[in-house]
Amino acid sequence: MTPRSRLVRRLRLIGRALRHRLRAAQAPLIAAFERRVMADADGVVIASLPIKSHRPRILLTVVRASTAGDLARVTARLAGAGSAEGPTHDVVVITVVEPGTHVRTTGWPPGDVPEALPPLGRALAVLRSEGVAAGWVVRAASDVGAALRREAQRQHADLMVMGWTQRAVPTSARDGDSHGDAPLAPLDEDAQERAMLPASLGDVLQFPPTDVLIVGGPAARVPLRRPLVLLGAGRDDRVAIEHAVSLAGDPSGAGVTVLAVVPPDAGPAASSVAARAARRVIEDAGLGAAAARVVAAPSRAEGALAVLRQGGFDAVVMATPPETLIKRRLFGGTQLQLVKRADVPVLVVDNRSPVLQYALQRVWSLLYDHLPKIAPPHQAEIEAVIADATRPSTDFFVMIGLSSAIAAIGLVQNSPATIIGAMLVAPMMSTIFAAALGFVQGHPRLIAHGLSASARGMGLAVIVSLLIGLVLDGGQLTPEMLTRTRPGFLDLGIALASGIAGAWALSRERVSASLPGVAIAVSLEPPLATAGLALAFGRTDAALGALLLFVINFVAIVAAGGLVFLLLGFGPTTEATQERAILRHGAQLAALLLVVLVVLLGWATARVTAEVRGAQRIEAALAAGVADLEEAGVAPVLIRGWRREGAERIVVEAWATGAGGALPEPAVVAAALHARLARSLSPAVRLELTLAPVMQAAFPAPTATATAIDAPP
């Protein structure tokens, strides 16, 4: 072993140790979360863990005696057996039995293996022959996947190794057809996973408690001298390469080939980019002897199968598909096809999610599983209703114009009842929900129609209110208008809640009567009317604030409504890759816009807060200055009002009353007030004081008279 290989291996071991410590720290959080969302119905029947070291652990799951030995050899190689430094991991072998299963335990020597469970004995024999410290656990559980996750958390396992026995189809055959070069037919990945994956494996992959390595296809014979690593689009390629190197037994990566697949119509430039990406992955892993290869094929599965037909490889190592919060592919179509058709073992690596992403995925799964789903016929009805709203007719524009006129008049009159009436008349909510549904379903035309109809309605509302404002020349902003020119975080919260309520009411017939209340709550029309009136009154700042409120409402309704539509089952299928890409980009855009709006609201809130605090300091300073004048015996002074012009100029209007005809000197009053302002704000503050004398007069009190009233007879 060269010095470079030793250094690379040592750095890899340090990285694994750091990941193990991090996972050990995260494990209690995940375990506590699991206990809250999953019933604890499993228990340990018996266990023997004679492991005394503090090395990381690998959890090996065995079910069948026929495959236990091969899985144990793979696990021993992953644990570092056969390396110059010796094993780097310990192994715990686990098997799960049905609750109530009677396992004879009498007379066992310590550390012996149950006679009724031959898979444990075979796996332990192989591990101990390889020099790997191993223990075993037997659990009784009705939910096998939950029991495996619990044990992985209890052991703080670094890796879980699982086998999957699947009939291998020769790569030259296809459903009885000998033409192996024929393209693979499209697969329904959801149906394939349900049909092919065991329930326990699917449960573990749904929420992996640690890194998981699935060994599928023909029996694996280690060491794997020539593993083929198939690159994907996920972040787990590095982990897949590490495991391939461990299985090959050469830290330099000799014998490991990294394969990148490009489309058949890709030109030399695309192939060159893919080759550079593959070499970059190899360099990042510190493998000097690994090879990179690029092949053109209709799919990644076709490319890998074509390379395997050429011979020279004894295994395929790859990662599971990239995971998302909304939809997580457990195994993936490429992986399923390779396991089903490859002549060599297929090892699939699934890397555990970070704690935050894991918790979010868990919460999403709970919501998605427990919320009712809309039946396809009802979905079609809802889609038809929403699609009709994106084709605005004369009625749409007439109602928008009337609602804008009503809102503008109500705002000018400062009449909340009139404004509420305008909200009920406005039909803009449907077009916004159309855009939300279009993003969820991945329909570009529905998105375009919804946004176009909303934009035209918005423009018409602003124009109508602008014309009304021009007719009312010289109007002033009323309190109802002012409340819509300074949006805050509460407005964002109201819009999000209204979007959720609106999408839910639109999808559920029983609560569809709540839609008018949602229209009132979200207040789409009044901000547009306020913007038009403010432009007519020459208040551009107020108009921009009102438009910002409308944008907040619009984005929040689209984001929240789209989330509800997705939870209710309106999302695209797994095979609709283009639609899913639109959904993903739409979710990213909505998240980005929400972040931008939060930043803007935070900045606006900070400005308002600073203004309020500055006003409070000025009020306190002026009050303190008046008190100082009274203590000095100066005639009483009453602050009538003040305003701030710029950062360092304050204009104050005050009244002065003379005691016995003596009025205070303006210079004395100004000096006292300025001293307090300079102390509270800044020494550079300038004061402009207008002091007006107030004349006082006393009038005699009215004389009280008494009138006699005769008592009634």
Residues 440 and 553 placed together within one structural domain of the fold: yes
Q: Which residues contact 480 (CB under 8 A, 6 or more apart)?
A: 410, 411, 414, 415, 416, 419, 526
Residue 631 belongs to domain with CATH number: 3.30.300
Report the first-to-last Cα separation within the chain, whole angstroms.
130
**Range of 93-102, 175-184, 261-270 with top mean pLDDT:** 261-270
Position 680: which residue type? S
* Number of domains forming the structure of the chain: 3
Give the position of tokens 């307090």: 676
Residues 278 and 293 placed together within one structural domain of the fold: yes
124 falls within a domain? yes
> For the chain, how are helix, strand and coil distributed in percent, rounded to 5?
55, 15, 30
Task: Show the tokens assigned to 145.
Answer: 């996947």
Residues 212 and 255 placed together within one structural domain of the fold: yes
- 58: pLDDT strictly greater than 90: yes
Q: 237: pLDDT confidence band, cut at 50, 70 and 90?
A: confident
Residue 79 belongs to domain with CATH number: 3.40.50.12370
Question: Under a CB-based contact definition with an 8 Å cutoff, are residues 305 and 342 in contact?
Answer: yes
CA dist list (Å): 502 to 321, 561, 567 = 34, 7, 14
Q: Domain range spanning residue 485? A: 371-571
Question: Under a CB-based contact definition with an 8 Å cutoff, are residues 255 and 225 in contact?
Answer: yes
Q: In which element (H, E) is residue 58 found?
A: strand 57-61
146 falls within a domain? yes
Residues 252 and 203 placed together within one structural domain of the fold: yes
- 513: pLDDT strictly greater than 60: no
Domain closes at, from 297, 331, 364: 364
Angstrom distance (rounded) from CA 548 to CA 487: 7
Q: What is the largest CA-CA distance in the chain?
A: 130
Per the model's pLDDT, the better-predicted residue between 348 and 33 turns out to be: 348
Q: 668: pLDDT confidence band, cut at 50, 70 and 90?
A: confident
The pLDDT, as a whole number, for residue 100 is: 67
Q: 520: pLDDT confidence band, cut at 50, 70 and 90?
A: low
Question: Under a CB-based contact definition with an 8 Å cutoff, are residues 522 and 430 in contact?
Answer: no
Query: What is the separation of C-alpha 136 from the centre of its chain, rounded to a whole number of angstroms?
Result: 39
Task: Show the tokens assigned to 539.
Answer: 């208040």
Residues 424 and 349 placed together within one structural domain of the fold: no
78 falls within a domain? yes
454 falls within a domain? yes
Domain closes at, from 322, 341, 364: 364
Q: In which element (H, E) is residue 440 found?
A: helix 428-441
The pLDDT, as a whole number, for residue 414 is: 87
- 229: pLDDT strictly greater than 70: yes
Mean pLDDT, rounded, of the chain = 78
Across residues 629-648, what is the average pLDDT? 81
Residues 626 and 565 placed together within one structural domain of the fold: no
Residues 554 and 451 placed together within one structural domain of the fold: yes
Alpha-carbon radius of gyration of the chain: 37
Residues 31 and 141 placed together within one structural domain of the fold: yes
- 1: pLDDT strictly greater than 70: no
Domain closes at, from 323, 342, 364: 364
CA nearest to 346, candidates 493, 488, 476, 167: 167
Q: Which residues contact 709 (CB under 8 A, 6 or more apart)?
A: none
Question: Under a CB-based contact definition with an 8 Å cutoff, are residues 139 and 116 in contact?
Answer: no
- 330: pLDDT strictly greater than 60: no
DSSP state of 113: -
601 falls within a domain? no
The pLDDT, as a whole number, for residue 214 is: 86
Task: Show the tokens assigned to 73.
Answer: 């050899």
Q: In which element (H, E) is residue 692 found?
A: strand 686-694
Across residues 361-382, what is the average pLDDT? 74
CA nearest to 342, candidates 310, 312, 315: 315
Angstrom distance (rounded) from CA 454 to CA 331: 41
426 falls within a domain? yes
The pLDDT, as a whole number, for residue 280 is: 84
634 falls within a domain? yes
Residues 531 and 642 placed together within one structural domain of the fold: no
Residues 164 and 301 placed together within one structural domain of the fold: yes
576 by DSSP, 3-state: which?
coil
Residues 458 and 488 placed together within one structural domain of the fold: yes
Residue 472 CB: number of other CB atoms within 10 A?
14
Q: 228: pLDDT confidence band, cut at 50, 70 and 90?
A: very high
322 falls within a domain? yes
Side-by-side strand order, sheet with 227-230: 43-48, 134-140, 90-97, 57-61, 157-164, 211-216, 346-350, 315-319, 227-230, 257-262, 291-296
Residue 395 belongs to domain with CATH number: 1.20.1080
Residues 358 and 377 placed together within one structural domain of the fold: no
